[in-house]
Amino acid sequence: MPEAPAGTLYRGREGMWSWVAHRVTGFLIFFFLLVHVLDTALVRVSPEAYNAVIGTYKNPIMGLGEAGLVAAIVLHAFNGIRVMLIDFWSKGTRYHRVMLWVVVGLFVVTMAFFLPRHLGNVFGGE
């Protein structure tokens, strides 16, 4: 792939793919949010109804889904900070590639902390 011309932050390589990842994760998180407000609204129906639906969040398949959801949120959050630094920090555009790898590093560290804890809760015996 030829080197992108200077000054085109969003064309090719890190700049473009992080933009794609930001869109995809944001899109997925939004639809989970709609579902999540609906399931939480069941507290207004009855304790039994809420517990029945939230019980499905505790099975292993949903547990893996939650891990994916948290991964999407963490990546979107950290890359969002990167977008703000690109927009507001005078040197942001110069360091946008480095900052993406910092985002990826922080993402890996956060997930390395979260996943054992969460998957332990989901798959741990009672």
Partner 1 sequence: MTTTTIAAPRSGPPRRGRTTGRSNYELYAWVFMRASGVLLLVLIFGHLFMNLIDGDGIKAVDFGFVAGKWASPLWQVWDLLMLWLAMIHGTNGIRTIINDYAERTGTRVVLKSALYLAFTVTVVLGTLVIFTFDPCPAGAPSDLLPSFCTG
CA distance 1 to 11: 12
Q: Which is nearer to partner 1, 8 or 46 (CB)?
A: 46
The whole-angstrom separation of Cα 43 and Cα 22 is: 32
- Around Cβ 106, how many Cβ atoms within 10 Å? 17
Q: Is 50 in the site for partner 1 (CB under 8 A)?
A: yes
Task: Give me the least distance between CB of 3 and partner 1, in Å please.
Answer: 26
Helix (DSSP H) and strand (DSSP E) numbers for the chain:
4, 0
Q: For residue 112, state whether it binds partner 1 (rule: CB under 8 A).
A: no
Determine if 125 is a binding residue for partner 1 (CB under 8 A).
no
Q: At its nearest, how many Å lie between partner 1 and the CB of residue 117? A: 6
C-beta of residue 29 within 8 angstroms of C-beta of residue 68: no
Restricting to residues 10-49, name those near partner 1 by CB under 8 A. 23, 26-27, 29-30, 33-34, 37-38, 40-41, 43-44, 46-48
Burial call 6-29: b when 16+ CB within 10 Å, e when fewer: eeebeeeebbeebeebbeebeeee
In the complex, the residues that contact partner 1 under the rule CB under 8 A are 23, 26-27, 29-30, 33-34, 37-38, 40-41, 43-44, 46-48, 50-51, 54, 57-58, 63, 66, 70, 73, 77, 80-81, 83-84, 87, 114, 117-118, 121-122, 124, 126
